[in-house]
Amino acid sequence: MTRPILLQLSPMSADLEAALDARGERVRLDTPDAGWLAGHGARVRIVVTGGQTGAPRELVEALPNLGLIAINGVGFDKVDIGHAAARGVAVTNTPGVLTDDVADLAIGLVIGLLRDLPRADAHVRSGAWTRGELPLARKVTGRRFGIVGLGRIGSAIAERLKPFGPVAYTGRSRKPVELAFHPDAAALAVASDVLIVAAAASAETRHLIDAKVLAALGPGGVLVNVARGSVVDEAALVAAIEGGRIAGAALDVFEGEPHVPPEITASDRTMLTPHIASATVETRAAMAALVLENIDAFLAGRPLATPIPPP
């Protein structure tokens, strides 16, 4: 019998690729074309993909024997879970193992933005320090923090922020926690100096952070996004930064990443990272192990470790 194909749609570590090679014929393609699909599509049993890449619906349609989409990431907004389920395709992700890293990065962005660490670093490196001092930055301790989305990651961010100042949140529902709840993002923004986006991307959360929410955050407020670019209306964010309607933004994710609007890269009121919230050696190894656990369970016909339930 011919070996099943594991179709890999996004970059993975060399260790994960070697482990995939041991489990079938790994084919690495960004976008499989019609010719390849016609010749090989029927042999694809598993798609392995990243959180930002997912698996387009048309691709899933073109793979008649697909049984599993294994996402190397927690976000599953780029896979139509209902459509996959209707076609008998299971979808797994890697929840839990990356929570600490994403929360840690959020704290790094909060401190980096308020204390203006990117410009402090550049000031020393460029030699500008010999010619004068930097303008004063802003204090972190004592700020009011607002978290949009109190899921696993939002909760971990809240725990880390408690020693710094009062933490409030908004989300789909009130949780049994001792944090102030606000019914929507605009109400939370009014009560926050630092608004941190930790909500999963979905049709409901698309552009949740819009011009109104940014206006509510106000000229002294800053925005931090470690979730997905789609949750923030980027054009509204550009306008708010340029118009001084908010004080700044620290962003790990962008609507059209890896492309970032020039107004955002040129601004000295932004701190930017290239979607690295889970990008540590330890966490990427843990994510890879979970991807493999799911693939092994699928191949052996056992229950999957971390299946995403259909809606």
Kindly list the catalytic residues: 228, 257, 275
Residues 303, 298: Cα–Cα separation, whole Å = 7
Task: Assess 229 for contact with ligand 8YV (CB under 6 A).
Answer: no
Task: Assess 73 for contact with ligand 8YV (CB under 6 A).
Answer: yes
CB 288 within 8 A of CB 19: yes
> Would you state the torsion angle of the CA atoms of residues 254, 256, 257, 259, taken in this order, to the nearest 10 degrees?
-110
Task: Assess 103 for contact with ligand 8YV (CB under 6 A).
Answer: no
The tokens of 16 are what?
């994960």
Taking CB under 6 A as the criterion, the residue among 41, 51, 151, 221 binding ligand 8YV is: 51
Task: Assess 95 for contact with ligand 8YV (CB under 6 A).
Answer: no
Taking CB under 6 A as the criterion, the residue among 75, 112, 149, 154 binding ligand 8YV is: 75
Of the pair 93, 170, the CB lying nearest ligand 8YV is at 93
Binding part of the chain for ligand 8YV, among 49-57, 108-116, 125-133, 242-250 by CB under 6 A, reads: 49-57
Binding part of the chain for ligand 8YV, among 46-54, 62-70, 176-184, 237-245 by CB under 6 A, reads: 46-54
In the structure, how many helices (H) and strands (E) does the chain have? Answer: 12, 12
Give the phi and the psi of residue 133 in degrees, each rounded to 5: -100, 160
Task: Assess 10 for contact with ligand 8YV (CB under 6 A).
Answer: yes
Of the pair 32, 50, the CB lying nearest ligand 8YV is at 50
Task: Assess 99 for contact with ligand 8YV (CB under 6 A).
Answer: no
Burial of 87 (0-12, 13-18, 19+ CB in 10 A): middle
Task: Assess 98 for contact with ligand 8YV (CB under 6 A).
Answer: yes
| CA distances from residue 152 to 52, 231, 302 in whole angstroms, order as listed | 19, 17, 26
Report which of 121, 120, 70 is spatially closest to residue 291, judged by C-alpha positions: 70
Task: Assess 146 for contact with ligand 8YV (CB under 6 A).
Answer: no
Residues lying near ligand 8YV in the complex (CB under 6 A): 10, 50-52, 72-75, 98, 275, 278
